[in-house]
């Protein structure tokens, strides 16, 4: 009996249709892979932007015709805000900032600041009082009423916004038990120097662009306050000397509507609009306004001004800032760059301003970035750039 021949095992190569389909698929996959690789190469090596593991932008290189650069955005580029609200006062602040307040509605203080960079801050205080008009007045209180605290309060002379801010750190002479006021909030700065008087605010005080030294760092800001003299209180300079009839004015001064915000001198231009925006959102609650009006014994006009002050001060600050003299910006920013070893370049496509390590333009062979003009020093910086 003849056995039937066994069928040959299925073979990959015996199936002509399958073989043809396989090679077509394989060929297509190779082509797509090659094209995809070329596309990815064009995006990554042809001048596109990527973000590295440090969050920095890598731009240019490859076939773009521009050298590859690495850009680190400045702290002001991606500010996120959060609302502080304690039921009495509220304000939008940069995320991560801390806020301190006190308890008295008459001298209510709010101090918002960046704990990592305390020179970045916003300060608003309704009232500070007990300042001396002269050194003689201060000496008189220290000699005859040493327990009153007046003998440790600063002297404001002249009685101006600038005179107040020059004297303000003197509150650190007060004892802790005497100071539910500015002593608990302000930085112990030195060398307060007015850069420019930008005119009067709606509350009566001057608006000063000024700088000071704090912890070895130069700080710049905008400051306003109103010094009020309520009259005279004449006393004998030496009450125990019958023959000496010399008198001095021992009536203390009060200071109202103390507003300022600051940042590092070399970065203030970048932070100014951000800080001003926050000041414009400062609001006092109805409960606070009622308590404040009651404490003022029904002086509703002052309360009304208080409720409107923040936004109007913010608007006034921005208007005055835009009209400022720019010579200080140019000179100070050039000095800062020279001290820190930077030069500045401008992105001709976006208009952004970057700080670059000295020598950048000497090594840079492209056309997108150019050295800035003097007028660009009035603007904030958008980041830091270096060749990759």
Q: How far is residue 324's CA from residue 307's CA, in Å, rounded to a whole number?
A: 27
Are 135 and 252 in a shared domain?
Answer: yes
Are 249 and 111 in a shared domain?
Answer: yes
Give which of 324, 213, 202, 196 is closest to 262, Cα–Cα. 213
In the chain, the number of structural domains is: 3
Say if 2 falls within a structural domain: no
Q: How far is residue 66's CA from residue 361's CA, in Å, rounded to a whole number?
A: 13
Q: How far is residue 314's CA from residue 309's CA, in Å, rounded to a whole number?
A: 8
Are 30 and 174 in a shared domain?
Answer: no
Are 20 and 160 in a shared domain?
Answer: no
Say if 23 falls within a structural domain: yes
Say if 242 falls within a structural domain: yes
Are 313 and 363 in a shared domain?
Answer: no
Angle between helices 300-322 and 286-295 (to 10 degrees): 120
Contacts of 78 (CB under 8 A, 6+ apart): none
pTM of the model: 0.81
Domain residue limits at 382? 343-387
Our CA angle for 254, 234, 149, nearest 5°, is 50
**DSSP one-letter code for 352:** -
Q: How far is residue 290's CA from residue 298's CA, in Å, rounded to a whole number?
A: 9
The pLDDT, as a whole number, for residue 28 is 46
Are 288 and 371 in a shared domain?
Answer: no
The pLDDT, as a whole number, for residue 295 is 85
The pLDDT, as a whole number, for residue 301 is 65
Domain boundary among 299, 325, 351: 325
Domain boundary among 325, 353, 375: 325
Are 103 and 241 in a shared domain?
Answer: yes
Can you give the C-alpha Rg of the chain in angstroms? Answer: 33
Are 113 and 166 in a shared domain?
Answer: yes
Say if 74 falls within a structural domain: no
CB 230 within 8 A of CB 95: no
Are 255 and 364 in a shared domain?
Answer: no
* Whole-Å CA distances, 229 to 34, 113, 388: 83, 31, 61
Are 283 and 167 in a shared domain?
Answer: yes
Are 208 and 123 in a shared domain?
Answer: yes
Say if 209 falls within a structural domain: yes
**Which pair of tokens denotes residue 38?**
């070329």
Say if 186 falls within a structural domain: yes
Say if 101 falls within a structural domain: yes
The pLDDT, as a whole number, for residue 250 is 92
Contacts of 199 (CB under 8 A, 6+ apart): 206, 207, 320
Are 304 and 357 in a shared domain?
Answer: no
The pLDDT, as a whole number, for residue 242 is 80
Say if 227 falls within a structural domain: yes
Angle between helices 300-322 and 268-280 (to 10 degrees): 150
Report mean pLDDT in 10-residue bins for the chain, 388 residues.
Answer: 44 44 44 40 56 91 88 91 95 96 87 96 91 94 87 94 95 67 79 95 90 95 94 87 86 92 95 93 90 78 66 82 88 92 96 96 95 92 94
């Amino acid at each position: 009996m003849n056995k039937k021949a066994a069928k040959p095992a299925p073979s990959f190569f015996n199936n002509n249709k399958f073989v043809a389909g396989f090679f077509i698929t394989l060929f297509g996959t190779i082509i797509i892979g090659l094209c995809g690789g070329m596309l990815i190469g064009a995006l990554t090596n042809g001048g596109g932007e990527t973000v590295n593991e440090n969050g920095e932008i890598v731009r240019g290189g490859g076939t773009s015709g521009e050298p590859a650069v690495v850009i680190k955005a400045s702290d002001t580029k991606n500010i996120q805000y959060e609302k502080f609200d304690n039921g009495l006062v509220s304000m939008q602040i940069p995320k991560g900032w801390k806020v301190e307040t006190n308890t008295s509605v008459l001298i209510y203080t709010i101090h918002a600041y960046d704990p990592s960079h305390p020179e970045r801050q916003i300060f608003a205080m309704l009232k500070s009082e007990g300042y001396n008009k002269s050194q003689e007045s201060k000496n008189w209180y220290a000699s005859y009423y040493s327990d009153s605290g007046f003998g440790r309060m600063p002297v404001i002379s002249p009685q101006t916004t600038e005179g107040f801010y020059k004297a303000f750190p003197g509150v650190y002479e007060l004892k802790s038990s005497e100071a539910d006021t500015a002593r608990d909030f302000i930085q112990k700065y030195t060398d307060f120097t007015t850069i420019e008087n930008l005119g009067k605010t709606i509350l009566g005080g001057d608006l000063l662009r000024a700088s000071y030294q704090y912890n070895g760092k130069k700080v710049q800001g905008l400051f306003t306050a109103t010094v009020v003299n309520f009259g005279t209180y004449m006393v004998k300079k030496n009450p125990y000397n019958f023959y000496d009839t010399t008198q001095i004015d021992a009536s203390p001064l009060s200071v109202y509507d103390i507003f300022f915000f600051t940042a590092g001198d070399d970065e203030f231009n970048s932070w100014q609009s951000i800080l001003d925006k926050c000041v414009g959102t400062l609001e006092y609650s109805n409960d606070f306004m009622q308590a404040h009006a009651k404490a003022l014994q029904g002086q509703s006009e002052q309360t009304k001004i208080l409720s409107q002050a923040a936004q109007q001060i913010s608007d006034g600050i921005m208007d005055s800032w835009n009209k400022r003299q720019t010579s200080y910006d140019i000179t100070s920013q050039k000095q800062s760059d020279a001290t820190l070893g930077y030069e500045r370049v401008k992105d001709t496509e976006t208009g952004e301003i970057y700080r670059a390590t000295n020598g950048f333009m000497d090594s840079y062979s492209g056309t997108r970035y150019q050295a800035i003009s003097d007028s660009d020093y009035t603007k904030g910086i958008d980041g830091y750039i270096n060749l990759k």
